[in-house]
Structure 1
């Protein structure tokens, strides 16, 4: 399906760019692991294409063009693009899923802030749950309940990343913590971004965010038990490794300003072993009723698009509106640069 050289390139990019997922992927069967690594390579490429560029709006527009080409069967001549095009064809990947990811990256390009937890979950649904839904597609799973739990796991993992990276994001001028939580804690967002500093009030906000993910991680386990048996250890591993990052933040007193929580090789090996044991337990226990819990509302559109992918119309209104705003901003930026250059003459 995927050309061997393209797959090798994708594996190397994940080995160096996403060590947590690379570790968890070792427990996936090859039929899932290979396309999963290719999928993550394309998602990583998309994230870096926006994050590492100064003209972020232009970067998102270029990614949308690359997505168009991949779905047309004429991918850009690059390993990750060719591999992703192969995935689209083999698995009938609903376009709503990668488009949701691009919309989340566009929100990043706009330096969007989130008024409340619902807004933050909507962002997490796009940049993380969309990937979880795509992973289900790679496993040939389109059951609504299983998809809902995969989306729970995606939101939990993204919120964990946000809790870990508060300081790193702030130094880049980015803020993801809910604004209403900051207001309740007496923290002024603009003042915080100018001089990021660890305080007890900020620690309580980070702790609150990590408490939010605990229920999501718990609910996600019911969905893992609904996946193909061979895929369960790898997904359990991802769940335990990312939850472990949150535990490390807690051990550091919820200080993600002066320190960045890291997990070591021994910890990862322990979680990999626990994942195998937990998979064995699923064979002896009845399926949990938690599998039927209502999805997080902000992820519902992903579940619908994936479960009913043959009936759902092309999902693009939200992305197109966001791209239009980005395009306008980029045009204004270029005009301002040209005007400034003309004035210097």
Structure 2
């Protein structure tokens, strides 16, 4: 007998609880239907990320030797899910369910897969625009998918731009926090033009003589993350109260990661940066007020995001 929707949702809930305490805390602010769908989408994203990076729920990233084979498995299972087939893998069946229920455009799903393809090809950004392109594929497109989960129409480009901005903010925070972890896996997401600017040889950024310059680049990442975070808030008036509450809480909780990296400077990578339970509760309380006042605090804008999202 095939697992029920409830069983797949329960497995997805366990995945977000293990993989991201920040997103897990924010997801509890959604209404039940949206929360379950957010968990289903997270489960697929988490499974793809773990498969690509040889990790378990975001922990223990390692350099993999069969990246192309892993990418092929990812694509095959994703295609089966989008075709409406039973996959037999809870994370990919979670994608099948959430796409069917919400009408998430398939192009966003494939945009995310292309982010994993970049990593499989040992890609690294040469320019700042390359960096944003990568961030779109691995996080901005997920933001667009989450917007649809929250009821945003797939053709509402202005709100999707705001959702994309939030995804970019999250990924820039991740990159700043995980510079040392990525280096151990043979990856670097600092653009070549940034490294040249501060006279830092490629592959040497974690060496002690360059730590001060690395801290400066991490602060730059944190600054850009903050700009995208603020831009994303302008999309919340288009959401229902509980969805806006969850988005604003996630923005604040995750934004603190980038802010802490900037504050710690050269010591940002001595220990993994986290937000405490107390800090999460603080953001949940503050974002309740922000959500209630969102239409006056964050007037919607019609312009594109800070970075032009692929159409």
Please give the TM-score of this superposition, normalised by the length of structure 1.
0.82
After superposition, give the CA deviation of every residue in 1:177-235 in whole Å (9 maximum; x if it has no partner).
Answer: 11101111110013336x57762111111111111122211111110121122211101
2: distance between equivalents of 1:134 and 1:91? 9
- Larger Rg belongs to: 1
Task: Give 3-state SS (helix, strand or coil) of 2:125's partner.
Answer: coil
Verify: 1:48 aligned to 2:50, yes or no. Answer: yes
**Unaligned regions of 5+ residues in structure 1, if any?**
302-345
Equivalent in the alignment of 1:83: 94
After superposition, give the CA deviation of every residue in 1:69-94 in whole Å (9 maximum; x if it has no partner).
Answer: 11111131122222211112121221
Change (3 A) 1:197 1:92: farther
- Tell me which protein shows more helix as a share of its residues: 1
Change (3 A) 1:91 1:269: same
1: distance between equivalents of 2:83 and 2:188? 36
Equivalent in the alignment of 2:126: 115
Equivalent in the alignment of 1:343: none
1: distance between equivalents of 2:122 and 2:208? 17
Equivalent in the alignment of 2:271: 259
Aligned counterpart in structure 1 of residue 303 of structure 2, from 293, 315, 319: 293
Equivalent in the alignment of 1:174: 187
Please give the TM-score of this superposition, normalised by the length of structure 2.
0.91
Change (3 A) 1:287 1:14: closer
Equivalent in the alignment of 1:221: 233
Aligned counterpart in structure 1 of residue 85 of structure 2, from 74, 81, 84: 74
Equivalent in the alignment of 1:102: 113
Task: Give 3-state SS (helix, strand or coil) of 1:188's partner.
Answer: coil
Task: Give 3-state SS (helix, strand or coil) of 1:192's partner.
Answer: coil
Aligned counterpart in structure 1 of residue 68 of structure 2, from 36, 39, 57: 57
Q: Which has the higher contact order (CA 8 A, sep 6+)?
A: 1
Aligned counterpart in structure 1 of residue 145 of structure 2, from 134, 150, 154: 134
List 4+ stretches of structure 1 deviating above 3 A. Answer: 195-198, 254-257
Q: Is the 8 A contact 1:167 1:258 kept in 2?
A: no
Verify: 1:234 aligned to 2:207, yes or no. Answer: no
Equivalent residue runs for 1:255-334 within 5 Å: 255-282=267-294, 285=296, 288-289=299-300, 291-301=301-311
CA RMSD for the aligned pairs? 1.8
**Unaligned regions of 5+ residues in structure 2, if any?**
55-63
Change (3 A) 1:259 1:124: same
Q: Is the 8 A contact 2:249 2:284 kept in 1?
A: yes
1: distance between equivalents of 2:161 and 2:209? 37
Equivalent in the alignment of 1:250: 262
Count of residues in correspondence between the two structures: 298
Return the offset for 1:286.
Answer: 7.2
Equivalent in the alignment of 2:58: none
2: distance between equivalents of 1:40 and 1:286? 29
Q: Is the 8 A contact 1:171 1:196 kept in 2?
A: no
Deviates more, 1:72-81 or 1:167-176: 72-81
Equivalent in the alignment of 1:7: 9
After superposition, give the CA deviation of every residue in 1:131-168 in whole Å (9 maximum; x if it has no partner).
Answer: 11111111220221111111111111100110111111
After superposition, give the CA deviation of every residue in 1:226-254 in whole Å (9 maximum; x if it has no partner).
Answer: 11222111011110011111111122125
Change (3 A) 1:199 1:192: closer
Equivalent in the alignment of 1:323: none
Task: Give 3-state SS (helix, strand or coil) of 1:181's partner.
Answer: helix
